[in-house]
Amino acid sequence: NKMVGIWGEGWKSSDAYGEQQTNQDLECQGDACLNLQWSEFLDSMIYAPAIDDGNEIFLNEKFKDKVVDGGDAQPWRHALIISHLLQTNKLENLKQGLINGAKGKWIKVLQSDPFLYQSGEYIDFQAYGNSLGWFYPTIIPLLEAHIVLQQNNMYNEEEFKMVHSWLEKRVWVLEQGPLDGLVSSAFKWNNFFEPANHESINKKVAYMLWGVADQNEVYFTAAINGFEDFYKSMRKKNGTFKNEHRKGDGANYGLQSGNVVGQCMIVMAVILEHQGIDVKKKYPKIEKFVQWASENYKNAEELGYGGGNNNLRFLSEDPSKRNTAGWMYLWDKEFGTNYTESNNFPHQTRTMITYGIADASNIITP
């Protein structure tokens, strides 16, 4: 594999990014954007944040004290800095941040859910699914940063070994079995598999990046297999995802989670293209999805899909950091298309910080 992840060889940021940064709502300004800061409270444990909707069941009340609010955990605070340093090509600062992370051996403990969860008539124990779900916004940009630093020969041998060993052990923790150990009374407390959906796809992205960073065929092949499993779930007509874009009143699918899946598929498609695979030829349904989203996101509320995940926040001026429309700009930059031209997405939703990109619309490709 070539040492290229999401950021392509020779990519750089336009001058407009630096000029617009104060308007990008990146939540870091000045020197705060230039250094990765590690702390005992935020970086010792990968937390399983509270869901806080009244459906948590504590078998032991003392575990209530172990629950951390999702906002306190700030799972993408490092992603903000990493994406800015990559976008501005401040690779020495980026390298020092990863070295400091490795020296401190930060991200030491993976927390299992300290509670059961009442889901309708059933009770679930999510095990590590919750904490890992909040860990991907940290580990994915770290892996992308590690790839870019290797690509640009930024490490000496000692620095590389230290950072690589530290990240390797954090990648190992991503594999916790079917659905990361989730069991449910709905399935008689047995492990079970769900079809390809938004809850499992970021693991494929992380594996693909580690396959590149470590030049590891096993991880890269596992990622491709996962990518192709999701590809099989795409409709031939328009590339939409059968497990997300559908009618009905189920709770765990819809436009919002469908965008999460589409976002990850485009990220992986870009990585595969960088590895020499002709994505448009081999996986034509990917571009069909891009075209469909470009046409239908203009009036997304009129699509009438079912499911409980139809909040259109990802198209708003206040998108979740890990679910935006930035992937459409990334596709245009990589493949020379113009799908974003007819969409006036707010600048806030052009970011992809959890994949190492602060502003996908301000990337210049060779």
pLDDT digits (tens, 9 = 90+) for 78-120: 999 999 999 999 999 999 999 999 999 999 999 999 899 988 8
Instruction: Please give the CATH number for the structural domain made up of 12-364.
Output: 1.50.10.100
Grade residue 60 by pLDDT with cuts at 50, 70 and 90. Answer: confident
pLDDT at 19 over 70: no
**118 DSSP β-pair partners:** 123
- Radius of gyration, CA atoms only, the chain: 20
Cα first-last separation, the chain: 21
Grade residue 31 by pLDDT with cuts at 50, 70 and 90. Answer: confident
Place of tokens 């990585």: 271
How far apart are the C-alpha atoms of 6 and 146, rounded to whole Å? 12
Grade residue 22 by pLDDT with cuts at 50, 70 and 90. Answer: very low
Q: Model pTM greater than 0.75?
A: yes
pLDDT at 277 over 80: yes
Predicted confidence at residue 23, as pLDDT, reads: 42
Our measurement of the distance from residue 272's CA atom to the centroid of its chain's CA atoms, rounded to an integer in Å, reads: 16
Question: Per DSSP, which regions of the chain are E strands?
Answer: 12-13, 45-46, 56-57, 109-110, 116-119, 122-125, 183-184, 363-364
H or E, element range at 337:
none
Token pair in block for residue 89: 């090509």
What residue segments make up the domains of the chain, in order of their start? Answer: 12-364
Token pair in block for residue 140: 């994915």
CB 117 within 8 A of CB 124: yes
Which residues fall within 8 angstroms of residue 324, CB to CB, at 6 or more apart? 263, 314, 348, 349, 350, 351, 352
H or E, element range at 38:
none
Which residues fall within 8 angstroms of residue 244, CB to CB, at 6 or more apart? 197, 198, 253, 254, 255, 257, 258, 261, 307, 309
pLDDT at 74 over 90: no
How far apart are the C-alpha atoms of 75 and 73, rounded to whole Å? 6
